[in-house]
Every structure is written in C-alpha cells, then in structure tokens.
Amino acid sequence: MMCYTPSYNPSWFLQNGALMTVYTALWGKRYWETTIEHPEPSYHEQIFIGSEGVPIFGLVAIPENARGTIIGTYGITGELETQWYLRLLGRKAFALGYAVVLFDWRAHGKTAQLSPTLTSDGLYEGEDYVRIAAAAKAMGCPGKFWFTGFSLGGQLALWGVKVAGEVIREYGDLELEDSDIGGGMVICPSLDSQRSLSYLVTKPFGRYIEAGIAKDLKKLAWRLHEIHPGSFDPEAIERANSIWGFDNELVIHRLGFPSVEAYYQASSALKILPQISKPTLIIYAGDDPLFDPAIIPELEAACDDNPAIDLLLTQYGGHVGYVSSKQCQQQLKDPDIWWAWNRILEWLEQRID
C-alpha cells in the first residue's frame, strides 16, 4: 500500500497526471510571472569548470547577508533562457535570502556553445554540481550548498549529493569542505530510465511526449554539430529518432558503454539512494505519466531504509506539475500555486542553522 501525503490537493480537473503535466507546461509558460510578486534577481553570468574540465554556463545572484546557496538545473531539454519553472525557483529563493546559482547542464543552452561534450545523466554531472559549489564559494556564495533539479535534472542533483564527499576528498584543491554541502531537494526525479522509457511508449500520451523530447534532442545534436564542426557524425544524428536512439547513436560510445541498457543501469538514480548521506527531499507524484508506477514501491523502500531522505509521495501532481487549488493554498498558507517549490523551500527553512 502506498503512503500518500495528504498535504497536496489540486483542483478537481487537474486530478489526472497527463492533464496536470500538459496544463502546467502550457499555462505556466505564458502566465507564471503573474503568479508571484518577486522580481527577477540581478543575475550575473559565470562560466564554471565542471568535471574533466568541461565549461558550464551559469547565472549567479547573491543577496545581502545570504543564508545559504541553492544550485539548480532543469530537465532533459531546454536552456536557462526559457526554463521558467527553474527561474521561478530563483525568484522565490532569492526573496528568502538565498544565493542562487542556475546552470545550463552539459550539451544544453550556452554550455553547448562552450563545449561539444554530451550528457551523461549524472555520471559526470554529479561532479559538475560539486565543482560549481566550490567556484560559487570562492565567489562569495555562502554554505551550505543545496543541490536541486526536476525530472532528469533531479537525477543529476541526486548524483551531486551522492558524490559530493567523494569529490571533495579526491580533489583537495577545491577548497570545499564536506560540511559545506547541505544536501538535495528534487521534484519528480528520473529514477530508472530504462523502465520508464519502456513504460512511456506503451501509452498514446507517452508516445506523444517521447516523440516531442526525441525531436528536441535531435535539434540539440544538430546544434552541437553546427557549433562544433567535426564533433559528430551527421549520419548518426539522422538515425537518432528516439530518446533511446539518441543515447545509442551519440552518447554511450563516448562514455564507454556497450549498450544503452548498461548506460541506464549505471546512471540510475534509484540505485544510489542508499548511498545518499546528506539531508535530501524527494517529491514524487503517484500519477506521474512519464515514469513507470512500478518504481514507486522501490522508491518508498529505499527512502524508508535511509534516514537522510525525506519522501513526499503524493497521489496527484503529474510530471513537474503540482499546481495547487485555492483550498490547498489556504490550508498551507502558501503565497502562490507552486506547491512543490513551496514545500522545498519550507523544508529547507527548517534546516538552515
């Protein structure tokens, strides 16, 4: 039996995972700025150096007397310029007194302009988070550092929390202490790509979503090919007509994996949950239409066995949706409709020294 938290309740017409997902993406893109009073922080651009010397483009905003630092990125496709859901967090967090570091992860946005290095679904991005924290500390961002993300970005953030101590011990020149790392906070993280992709294409809605993501990944590959001539085989890009195909044609061989299955198994966030030792909040929806629901009992078991992880499992919410009803907002005294970000910031406030 799944133990759902009763604190989230959407309007009746959004009590469907697919509808919530589409509604949030389309409505939020147009109207999100009308839902909050906080202005955009005065970000300045920064190029960080990630794992294996890969340059990472980011935005940094530091308020006076900052109380800690939130470092975050987004999901499988996109760029900072258009990632309104992440920018929403930036506004809310900055208004609460947190320094904010948002970044285009590997092969995305302005990071793609700086390097032809492709994604690794956490295997290298985890270290990227830690190196970004070290550079942010040198710039004046205060600890503790909290890693966040949603969807595939949530998987990356979990890897960051998992490897933080290892990276700090291995690279003493980072001038970062283990105690500087606070932990992680993620919304609808990808946990098992192989199972979820197999599940996704069994449903009409899932096939539509998968096709859209695959189209965006192909655009990403062509953009990298254009910016970095000679780095990619055009014929391989032509053959990459699915998410699995993108990884098969362009990613796995560069990372040294014999198959997509082996790559997904190695990068799976579900298997690293027992190794997370820093306070971490996972928000996950039972009706998420992108992920195989069979994963949920395993997620619950892993979180039950690890006292460092708090799991907020909800009956509704869709995939990175969580638009709350007026009644829900009133009950929780939330300032806006963004239930998941409000829970993350509420959870974080309880852990600030």
User: What is the helix (H) or strand (E) element at residue 202, kind and residue range?
Assistant: none
Q: How far apart are CA 82 and CA 95, in angstroms?
A: 21
Residue 285 near residue 188, CB atoms below 8 Å: yes
Q: Which of 51, 151, 190, 324 is catalytic?
A: 151
Q: How far apart are CA 91 and CA 32, in angstroms?
A: 11
Q: Spell out the alpha helix ranges (H) of 171-282.
A: 193-200, 204-227, 234-239, 243-246, 252-255, 260-267
Q: How far apart are CA 337 and CA 314, in angstroms?
A: 16
Sheet holding 99-103, edge to edge: 44-49, 55-61, 99-103, 69-73, 145-150, 181-187, 280-285, 309-314
Q: Which of 51, 192, 268, 319 is catalytic?
A: 319
Q: Spell out the alpha helix ranges (H) of the chain.
A: 17-31, 84-95, 109-114, 125-139, 152-170, 193-200, 204-227, 234-239, 243-246, 252-255, 260-267, 295-304, 326-332, 339-349
- Is 267 known to be catalytic? no
* Number of neighbours of residue 295 by Cβ within 10 angstroms: 18
- Is 216 known to be catalytic? no
Which residue, among 159, 147, 151, has the nearest Cα to 184 in the 3D structure? Answer: 147
- Is 151 known to be catalytic? yes
Rg of the Cα trace of the chain?
Answer: 19
**SS3 of residue 293 by DSSP:** coil
Residues labelled as active-site residues: 151, 288, 319
